[in-house]
Chain A
Amino acid sequence: MSNLLLFPIIIPLIFATVLMIFPKNLKMQRWIAVIGAASTFVAGLFLLAKVQSDGVQAVTLGSWPAPFGISMVSDMLSVLLVLSSSLITLFVVVYSYSTIGIKREQSYYYPAVLFLMTGVNGAFTTGDIFNLFVFVEVLLMASYALIVHGGEKPQLRESIKYLLVNIISSALFVAAVAFLYSVTGTLNMADLAVKIPEIEATGILTVIAVMFLVVFGFKAAIFPLYFWLPGSYHAPPVPILALFGALLTKVGVYAIMRTYTLFFTMNIGFTHELLAIIAILTILAGCVGALAYFDVKKIIIYNIIIAVGVILFGVSQMNEAGIEGSIFYLIHDMLIKAALFFLVGIVAVLFGTTNLRKMGGLIKTYPVLGWSYLVAAFGLAGIPPLSGFPGKLLIVQGGFEGPQFWGSIVILATSLIVLLSVVRIFIYAFWGEPVETVPLKKSSYYQMFTPTVVLVAITVFFGVGAELFMPFISGAGEVLLNPSIYIDAVLKE
């Protein structure tokens, strides 16, 4: 079955299209959306088994030979990311039932979520640089619809900023692809990886590599280009925020990972050192934001930026420990960010505000919620048995083995700030004098809390059972470190 790797893209697309036909039928919308997300996840599992047993999967659309058609490539890294994004979308759909509101649900909310999933899975799977652009646009269009969905005043204001920044960065993306095409004459990533080492003029290629860093840096929110993210992500409701926080920036991170390990390796001394410096600055900038705010959503949003810096620092080291660490941390971060946004969303619903100063004493009335928040917070900071630990450990190790050992020290030091920023939410919201909470029906509380606690349990399992997942992670790292495996899989004939 050569088309298996396309199923995680086609299934949500077809389900989203079907959902467009009857927007008002609430029950059908919910059921079909959850079935679509779940079957995408199952297809991802089959694909994982296939990649694990037979190596990198590649198919070139339309039966054309490899560099001429659009290649879709599924190596271990992209399968793992497709799986985690499908899992998160599934949880977001379930979490939306009781939080998003019937009016939003009846105006094409679930189709937009599934279209976003199509774009994200496609961006993770594609093996063609222009097709990557198209899938990034698919997910951005869906995210424009979601960020403005409901049409509240802050959403309208922030969606204009979000649109503007993304349109400019997309235009820059097209320009960068045009430059790359005029230098190399190909768009297929595997073919690019063959052609680029043969070109002697590395100057222009280094410029293009930096252009791509700027383009994907806009999407991934790296240091000087993250300015749009805190405001834009603060506007939409929590399920949409969880979806954005867990998936969208990670597509940019994945694109940097892919391009900087597969073909922009001609001038590592410059490009990767630049990446390392920017990554460290991103962490520092995120830390300042995470400490500065007394708003639960803002604190977690700035933690997205910190995590992007940590992952990219691991990538920039280009050694086994660094790359494997970033892959582990990337997957951990997708899961934990979704879990944290879910938890913070419940807290915000209970108090009717996102301001930390107006909260307090929740541990007496909702103990399980409190303890699962603490577990998730410790997981984010990287406390040993939990999921943040193995990834960060490997990244720090990679930094000490590589040229930028000072970066590892910064990462270790900032972990304390991350811990402080999330534990502050725990101290303010769960300890202290009880503040009156908004009365909430037991059933709708459990509808929100069940997906959240399952997701937290998954992150704990991901950390405690890290040994189980390491073969997959090192399989993914192997392909990134040896581009020849990727090239051979695509250009086999």
Chain B
Amino acid sequence: MRTNDVMLQTATKVVTFIILLFAVHIFFAGHYTPGGGFVGGLLTTSAIVLLMLAFDMNTVRKILPINYVVMTAVGLLLAVGTAAASIVFDVPFFTHAYDYFDLPLLGETSLHSAMLFDAGVYLVVVGVTMTIIQTIGEDE
């Protein structure tokens, strides 16, 4: 018999968004402060795992209909693609570029292509950890 977990589910609905926001913050802060794609990815996974604990795997799959293996592949392609873009400009592999841009709302911001590489890492980390958890979780 399933116990009544209304407390857990209500708390989860709030806490998940806080964790997700923190994950995004950690991810974007990685260039100047501790953080980055790896930790950001793990935090995002922890938010999804919390959802899975509070509800169940099928509900979560309805909320997030994502094929995590494809997500891993896309992340890898993004990371390799960022590194390989340097080949087009005939500089050594993995040479990054950066510049300052005037963005609306944010003002003058430095944008660095290492960010795209980190986004690839983020997708791979989320994809791999979620694949592991889903595969073990669904194992009968």
Mark A residues whose CB is within 8 Å of B: 1-3, 6, 10, 13-14, 17-18, 20-21, 23, 59-63, 69, 72
Contacts of A18 in B (CB 8 A): 73, 77
9 smallest beta-carbon distances between A and B, as pairs: A20-B73, A61-B94, A62-B94, A63-B95, A17-B76, A3-B87, A59-B92, A17-B73, A21-B73
Counting chain A CB atoms within 10 Å of each CB, the highest count among B84, B91, B94 belongs to B94
Verify B73–A61 contact, CB threshold 8 A.
Answer: no
State how many angstroms separate the Cβ of B71 from the closest Cβ of chain A: 10
Verify A20–B72 contact, CB threshold 8 A.
Answer: yes
Verify B80–A63 contact, CB threshold 8 A.
Answer: no
Verify A61–B93 contact, CB threshold 8 A.
Answer: yes
Q: For window 50-78 of chain B, which residues contact chain A by CB distance below 8 Å? A: 69-70, 72-74, 76-77
Knowing A18-B73, A20-B72 touch, does A60 contact B92 (C-beta < 8 A)? yes
Verify A21–B92 contact, CB threshold 8 A.
Answer: no
| Count: A-B pairs, CB below 8 Å | 51
Complex Cα distance, B90 from A3, in Å, reads 8
Contacts of B74 in A (CB 8 A): 21
- When C-beta atoms are compared, the residue in chain B nearest to A2 turns out to be B92
- When C-beta atoms are compared, the residue in chain A nearest to B74 turns out to be A21
Verify B91–A63 contact, CB threshold 8 A.
Answer: yes
State how many angstroms separate the Cβ of B30 from the closest Cβ of chain A: 17
Can you offer 14 A-B residue contacts whose CB atoms are under 8 A? Answer: A2-B91, A3-B86, A6-B93, A10-B93, A17-B80, A18-B77, A20-B69, A20-B70, A60-B92, A61-B92, A61-B95, A62-B95, A62-B96, A72-B93
Chain B contributes a number of interface residues (CB within 8 A of A) equal to 18
- When C-beta atoms are compared, the residue in chain A nearest to B67 turns out to be A21
- When C-beta atoms are compared, the residue in chain A nearest to B77 turns out to be A17
Complex Cα distance, B82 from A10, in Å, reads 12
Contacts of B77 in A (CB 8 A): 14, 17-18
State how many angstroms separate the Cβ of B94 from the closest Cβ of chain A: 4
Contacts of B92 in A (CB 8 A): 2-3, 59-63, 69
State how many angstroms separate the Cβ of A17 from the closest Cβ of chain B: 4
Contacts of A20 in B (CB 8 A): 69-70, 72-73, 76
Mark B residues whose CB is within 8 Å of A: 69-70, 72-74, 76-77, 80, 84, 86-87, 90-96
> With contacts A3-B92, A20-B69, A59-B93 known, what are 7 further pairs, Cβ within 8 A?
A6-B87, A10-B93, A14-B80, A17-B80, A20-B76, A59-B92, A62-B95
State how many angstroms separate the Cβ of A244 from the closest Cβ of chain B: 24
- When C-beta atoms are compared, the residue in chain B nearest to A23 turns out to be B69
- When C-beta atoms are compared, the residue in chain A nearest to B91 turns out to be A63
Contacts of A72 in B (CB 8 A): 93
Counting chain A CB atoms within 10 Å of each CB, the highest count among B69, B74, B92, B94 belongs to B92
State how many angstroms separate the Cβ of A36 from the closest Cβ of chain B: 13
Contacts of B73 in A (CB 8 A): 17-18, 20-21
Complex Cα distance, B87 from A14, in Å, reads 14
State how many angstroms separate the Cβ of B87 from the closest Cβ of chain A: 5
Contacts of B70 in A (CB 8 A): 20-21
Contact among A3, A17, A21 with B93 in the assembled complex (CB-CB below 8 Å): A3
Verify B80–A2 contact, CB threshold 8 A.
Answer: no
State how many angstroms separate the Cβ of B99 from the closest Cβ of chain A: 16
Contacts of A3 in B (CB 8 A): 86-87, 90, 92-93
Complex Cα distance, B3 from A332, in Å, reads 67
Contacts of B69 in A (CB 8 A): 20, 23
- When C-beta atoms are compared, the residue in chain B nearest to A62 turns out to be B94
Verify B80–A13 contact, CB threshold 8 A.
Answer: yes
State how many angstroms separate the Cβ of B38 from the closest Cβ of chain A: 15
Verify B90–A2 contact, CB threshold 8 A.
Answer: yes
Complex Cα distance, B77 from A20, in Å, reads 11
